[in-house]
Structure 1
Amino acid sequence: MPVPQQFVEPDAVADQTERQPGKHAKPRRRWRRVALVSLLVVALLGGGGLIAGGLYLRSVESDIERVDAFADVPEQGRPQAVAKGAMNILILGSDTRDPESTSGSRTDTIILAHLPKDRSSAQLISIPRDTWVAVPRSKDGSQGGRDAKINAAYAWGGVPLMVQTVEKFTSVRIDHVMMVDFAGFKEIIDALGGIDIDAEKSFTSIHPPFRTFRQGVQRMDGETALDYSRQRKQFPDGDFARIRHQQQVIKAILDRAVSGGIVTNPGKLNSFVKATSNAVSVDEKMSLLSMATDLRGLRGDNLRFITSPTKGTGRVGSESVVFANTEKAKSFYDAVRRDAVAEIVNAGK
């Protein structure tokens, strides 16, 4: 693979919640980058069954940052697992360098990844960040306990309250959690030599340098792909377009990683993973080696992207929100709980 062009990375946009005024303020740890893609690419390593592959993954796993995602989640209030062997992973994402980012510590992206018992596919369910839901009360009792946008749960109670909120909304038990900063995808995409994106229409970015994206398939470097994934105001469905663009980028990265030979070339894979392993942040019980075995057959063509059922947008007071289609959502997430893959996929069409 040719040596990818190097791109100069702009300074990160400061998260408003990282630095609180005052002498004794303690910076909030920035979310690590590239978690989803790094994990999926590493999981494809050499069929997952080789001894050398297992030793390699163990060495990578020792560098992964862990988060205590479930310690403050009361067990008595959690939904029970229905389909034994299936797995549900909550992926929480932010875009810390988005020029429009004013959300502080709220999550820009919420994905419930369902891995069926047979691990032959994966369904990635995007929950719009403005979905109006019941947020449980935070551990200290100072926040929550009322309806709000779903992404408020992270700001109010961190990962544990986010887990509680998603479980309450979906009735699906969360097995694992990972976090990713979409701004970190730039390095991944450039390491792959770019990705191919099929733009649904021609449009111009609202952010400098105001790129023009033409309709159809085109190769994008990291900066361009990130710019594309942030666009929403040029589309009648707003943030739903942004969700689609993020889904396209995730799938294109996975496809490029496999087709570009990085998975089958130990040298390229080692360089790629070593550059991103420190960016991974997962819960304390997730095993990279087990995931590698589980996901060794996963490819872009058996990934299905679905958006949680909604009734569209509206207003609650002064807030612009997304209203869940509660009836459809109930049957949809019941299919997820039962590991009924055909029902899940058909509901997403």
Structure 2
Amino acid sequence: MKNRHSIDGFIPRQPGDQLGGLQNAETRTVLKDMPENKVLHNDGGETVRMLGEEQSGRGLGRSDIDESLRDIDENAQPAKKLSRKQRRQMANQLKRPRSLTNRIIRWSISILLIIILAAGGYSAYRFIVVGNNIFQGNIFDVFSSEPLKQDSNGRSNFLILGTSEDDPGHQGADLTDSILVLSVDQKNKNSYMFSVPRDMEVKYDRPCVPGYSGKINAFFSCVNIEETKEAEQDRLAKTQKLIGDIFGIDIQYGIHVNYTVMRDVVNAIGGNITVTIESRDPNGQMDSNFDWKCGGNYYERFKNCPPNGHFIDYPNGLITLDAEHALYLAQARGDISPTYGFEKSNFDREKNQQKILVAIRDKAMSSGTLTNLGAISRLIDALGDNLRTNIKTNEIRTLIQVAGEIKSDDIHDISLIDGDNPVMNGTGNPSAGKYEYDDIRALIKKNLSSNPIISEAAPVVVLNGSGQSGFGQTKADELAGLGYNVVLVSNAPDGNYGKVEIYQIGGGNTGTADKLSAMYGGVVIKKSTPPTTVNGDVRFVIIFGVVTE
């Protein structure tokens, strides 16, 4: 028997020991041979009790406890330890048996999960392979999300260049016949875009095939003729700078695509898109340049391209385009007779290209498209074969998020040829003359500026009510220097005027009104009629009265 250790200096009792007994071996031996006497003595008291007799008015004693425990020890049977096999058998018996249906469901779910994981893994693999060809930086940076670069107005600007280098038989396949600038405001969730006429005459900063000046569409391939990734990035960067300088805009990103990307992307996102034809011709738009797609003879063309035998032939209004028709509508400009609806040639083509890009964006962002693994895989392949850019991998998630947050109604077109005072003429050159870009820059600045003074461009009339010669012109120059659209400087009618009085005509232009009020110490903008008659487009009349030093 093992020795039992004492606790806190006390020696534990041995089995059978009595309260008050001597705890040593000799005493135990003597007591063992003594006759059993169950009479309980009480040190001289008269009351004598037998051991085990019920004692009224007394609590449970130590001897009672020992006796009870001894009985338990003698009667208790030790529990038999179960083997591991027995425990498993008992656990299986307790489990509810699965039916054949439950097992089939479980197997089906497992197989489905394996298929999904395999498909997702393949898409991830394809993205890694293709992404290295498209984007800049480590492809695994796609799991991070960095904000897009911005200009001083908080906008991210993209230059999109389209070539026909994927068409071996196309003359001038390396020319950027499609040039589009897209400007995105991440904070206010809007975007503006405008097309650059391919025939616009510009000065190159280097010798090119046309010389030191020529059409803007020749510059991209003039930068270098190498076919490395570094050479492509150099072409993008230098073309971004040239076009950015001309239009007065800081372009942070460049994208180079070929025409095939339009067809492949449309196929990847479902095979069709919807656009609206808005032609000046009541019949819509028709270009016979692509009728060879309908067949080799008159009969085949009418059979394959009803009702008139033309591959590109659409009425005004909403139409549905499959991938092939989207590709060729993006190229149509009515350069071969018979044709109609393309009176402005490249300008009409550029407008259709913008509509197709917006339609692709809407379809790609629609519910279901970007959650379809097959569509994602096809989209990745389409971009990988036909697109190059200097967008970094850690900016992709931000770009997709921004694109999804901008509503179609907040995507605007800046026209360079429409309106009462178009800044470009029918030849694709500035209305002010070749290489004269000031009006173009002012138009772009007005649309993209975050400063309401610039973006609202509210016409302002400045009147001198001080009686001091030249004072009105001095104040007008100050306002113009801050970007205000001062259209007239004159003398105010005779009268007593305060230091500054500002009248607002009509509603809107709240940004300009707030700026003017703050500029002149919180002066209250008057809504009453000003003391002089002005042209109908004027929105503010400012009268400078008392001169103070």
TM interval, short-chain normalised: 0.5 to 0.7
Structure 1 runs not aligned, ≥5 long: 1-52, 69-79, 315-320
Structure 2 runs not aligned, ≥5 long: 1-119, 137-149, 224-234, 295-309, 418-422, 458-549
Task: State the superposition RMSD in angstroms.
Answer: 3.6
1:233-271: per-residue Cα shift (whole Å, max 9, x none)? Answer: 2321111111111112112222223346313x3435533
1:10-68: per-residue Cα shift (whole Å, max 9, x none)? Answer: xxxxxxxxxxxxxxxxxxxxxxxxxxxxxxxxxxxxxxxxxxx9xx9998366322588
Amino acid at match of 2:243: V
> Does 1:249 pair with 2:362?
no
- 1:301 corresponds in structure 2 to 409
Q: Return the alpha-carbon distance in structure 2 between the equivalents of residues 296 and 150 of structure 1.
A: 32
Amino acid at match of 1:124: M
> Does 1:184 pair with 2:261?
yes
- 1:30 corresponds in structure 2 to none
> Does 1:214 pair with 2:314?
yes
Deviation at 1:118, TM superposition (A): 0.8
Deviation at 1:324, TM superposition (A): 5.5
Larger displacement relative to structure 2 (239-248 or 250-259) = 250-259
- 1:283 corresponds in structure 2 to 390
Q: TM-score, normalised by structure 1?
A: 0.65
SS at match of 1:271: helix
Within 5 Å, which residues of 2 pair with 1:1-349?
60=127, 63-64=130-131, 65-66=133-134, 81-83=151-153, 85-96=154-165, 101-118=170-187, 120-137=189-206, 146-157=212-223, 158-191=235-268, 192-199=270-277, 200=279, 201-207=284-290, 208=292, 209=294, 210-215=310-315, 216-233=317-334, 234=339, 235-259=342-366, 261-263=368-370, 265-279=371-385, 280-283=387-390, 285=392, 287-308=395-416, 310-314=423-427, 322-323=429-430, 326-335=437-446, 338-339=449-450
Report the CA distance shift for 1:202/1:274 in structure 2 as closer, same or farther (over 3 A).
closer
Which protein shows a greater Rg? 2
Percent of pairs with identical residues: 19
SS at match of 1:237: coil
Query: Contact (CA 8 Å) 1:205, 1:227: kept in 2 or not?
Result: no
Amino acid at match of 1:303: I
1:66-125: per-residue Cα shift (whole Å, max 9, x none)? Answer: 588xxxxxxxxxxx9422x32111111123467994223210111111112415011122
Report the CA distance shift for 1:57/1:306 in structure 2 as closer, same or farther (over 3 A).
farther
Report the CA distance shift for 1:212/1:105 in structure 2 as closer, same or farther (over 3 A).
closer
Q: Return the alpha-carbon distance in structure 2 between the equivalents of residues 259 and 117 of structure 1.
A: 20
Report the CA distance shift for 1:290/1:128 in structure 2 as closer, same or farther (over 3 A).
same
Query: Contact (CA 8 Å) 2:191, 2:410: kept in 1 or not?
Result: yes
- 2:77 corresponds in structure 1 to none
Amino acid at match of 1:82: S
Query: Contact (CA 8 Å) 1:134, 1:165: kept in 2 or not?
Result: no
Deviation at 1:278, TM superposition (A): 1.7
1:197-243: per-residue Cα shift (whole Å, max 9, x none)? Answer: 32330424321233252313222211112222221123211111111
Aligned length: 270
Amino acid at match of 1:205: S
SS at match of 1:225: helix
Query: Contact (CA 8 Å) 1:119, 1:294: kept in 2 or not?
Result: no
SS at match of 2:289: coil
SS at match of 1:60: helix
SS at match of 1:188: helix
- 1:11 corresponds in structure 2 to none
Amino acid at match of 1:182: Y
Larger displacement relative to structure 2 (150-159 or 202-211) = 202-211
- 1:45 corresponds in structure 2 to none
Deviation at 1:342, TM superposition (A): 11
Q: Return the alpha-carbon distance in structure 2 between the equivalents of residues 93 and 197 of structure 1.
A: 20
